[in-house]
């Protein structure tokens, strides 16, 4: 069993290419999942697609190189030369793959070090994959150690103190551009998803009045109800061309596959405007005008570098936690094989029967000449007794709950004492909850 990650991130892939690689619809995502599962040896997969990265996480039966096939598919999808895709793609295998997943979810690989949004995005990606039948026990093992690792990094370091996201960095940049004070300004918020919501809340905290636009008006009103510290109003999405020419600040983060702000919408104004495009693909068409400054996701790099310097004291500790979790994961994985467990239980039974037989002979309960015959009877009795449990254990080995069952048996028989705490470490809550839910008739 092997783990592979094919990674495209802000570290190695320019925004223009990330836009093309991003999966803008669930159907595009499903199509890619189906392609992955058509490849030899792919058992399970998870696709993480965000504004800063596309991570393709695979569980496989062999360690052969299938990255070329993946690059070929993405080349067709993005309508980009395959060599361009290959030049930026990064492939991680086995231990390096698991370490990379832990690092991504712990936000040590993020554009903004310590941002808290990424772990939720990883959870959503896993849930989507599992709900659609593309991942199961093997990647669930990795995911739930991933979430524990991210929580430990968050709780044992200060790397996520004063939570930071791309949205909060954008608001900080706006504050800097407007002489350090945003109170009294108004801002247009386009979209009502997670990134737009974060931007709106940070702006509200800074005293900015908000105008929210979204195609789904109910979602816009829901966001408005969550903010009561400033003046908030909701406008129809069709008002966008008018509003973007009347206010200095605009923050846009929709899931549109095409720009929603075009050159035709932009009019001359007597004041300078600052627009923050937090979407991938971008919401704002490339717009070079003297009266507008447009900041895309990658333009926040300078603030990210300041953020790294302020938090680098915690980096060594966070990296050690991730390294320890990676080592722990593979040690724990080795304990979950059913066959060695069955052998260990049978060996225990054989050792116990041999020990008691020798004691009986020593005390004169059984003649020495009958030792071989009695030994054979005892071993046959234990083999008969263990036949059903052994068969059952092999049958459940592929179920999501099997890891917990194996660990319970280890605990029950006093086996593998060093790893006994793993019973509390691995909790596949989402899977078990789903499997135990009564099926609809």
Active-site residues, by number, are 51
Q: What is the DSSP letter of 261?
A: B
Residue 328 corresponds to which tokens in the numbers above?
Answer: 């722990």
183 in Cβ contact with 249 (< 8 Å):
no
Contacts of 361 (CB under 8 A, 6+ apart): 367, 368, 371
Token representation of residue 362: 């020593």
Beta-strand relationship, 209-213 and 53-60: unpaired
How far is residue 308 CA from its own chain's centroid?
22
What phi-psi label fits residue 387: left (phi over 0), alpha (psi between -120 and 50 degrees) or beta? alpha
- Structure-block tokens of residue 241: 């061309």
Question: What CA–CA distance (Å, rounded) separates 292 from 274?
Answer: 6
Are β-strands 186-190 and 90-93 bridged in parallel, bridged antiparallel, or unpaired? Answer: unpaired
152 in Cβ contact with 159 (< 8 Å): no
As a dihedral over the C-alpha atoms of residue 371, residue 377, residue 382, residue 386, rounded to 10 degrees, the angle is 150
């Amino acid at each position: 069993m092997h783990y592979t990650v094919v990674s495209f991130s802000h570290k190695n892939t320019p925004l223009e290419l990330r836009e093309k690689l991003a999966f803008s619809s669930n159907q595009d995502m499903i199509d890619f999942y189906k392609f992955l599962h058509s490849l030899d040896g792919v058992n399970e997969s998870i696709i993480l697609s965000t504004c800063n990265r596309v991570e393709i996480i695979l569980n496989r039966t062999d360690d052969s190189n299938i990255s070329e096939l993946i690059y070929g598919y993405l080349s067709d999808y993005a309508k980009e030369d395959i060599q361009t895709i290959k030049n930026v793609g990064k492939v991680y295998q086995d231990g390096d793959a698991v370490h990379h997943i832990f690092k991504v979810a712990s936000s040590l690989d993020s554009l903004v070090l310590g941002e808290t949004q990424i772990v939720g995005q990883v959870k959503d990606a896993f849930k989507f994959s599992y709900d659609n039948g593309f991942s199961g026990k093997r990647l669930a093992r990795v995911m739930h150690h991933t979430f524990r690792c991210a929580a430990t990094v968050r709780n044992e370091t200060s790397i996520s103190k004063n939570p930071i996201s791309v949205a909060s960095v954008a608001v900080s940049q706006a504050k800097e551009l407007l002489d350090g004070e945003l109170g009294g300004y108004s801002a247009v918020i386009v979209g009502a998803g997670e990134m737009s919501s974060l931007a709106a809340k940070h702006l509200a905290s800074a005293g900015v009045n908000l105008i929210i636009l979204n195609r789904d008006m109910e979602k816009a009103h829901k966001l408005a109800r969550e903010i009561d510290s400033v003046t908030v109003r909701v406008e129809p999405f069709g008002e966008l061309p008018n509003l973007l020419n009347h206010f200095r600040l605009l923050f846009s983060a929709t899931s549109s596959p095409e720009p929603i702000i075009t050159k035709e919408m932009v009019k001359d104004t007597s004041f300078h405007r600052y627009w923050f495009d937090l979407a991938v693909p971008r919401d704002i068409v490339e717009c070079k005008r003297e009266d507008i400054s447009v900041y895309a996701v990658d333009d926040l790099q300078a603030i990210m570098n300041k953020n790294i310097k302020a938090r680098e004291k915690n980096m060594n500790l966070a990296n050690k936690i991730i390294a320890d979790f990676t080592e722990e994961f593979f040690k724990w994985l080795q304990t979950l094989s059913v066959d060695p467990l069955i052998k260990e239980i049978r060996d225990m039974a054989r050792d116990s029967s041999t020990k008691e037989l020798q004691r009986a002979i020593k005390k004169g309960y059984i003649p020495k000449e009958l030792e071989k015959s009695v030994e054979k009877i005892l071993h046959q009795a234990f083999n008969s007794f263990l036949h059903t449990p052994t068969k059952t254990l092999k049958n459940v080995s592929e179920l999501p709950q099997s890891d917990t069952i194996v660990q319970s048996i280890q605990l029950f028989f006093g086996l593998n004492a060093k790893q006994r705490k793993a019973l509390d470490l691995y909790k596949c809550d989402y899977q078990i909850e789903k499997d135990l839910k009564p099926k609809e008739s």
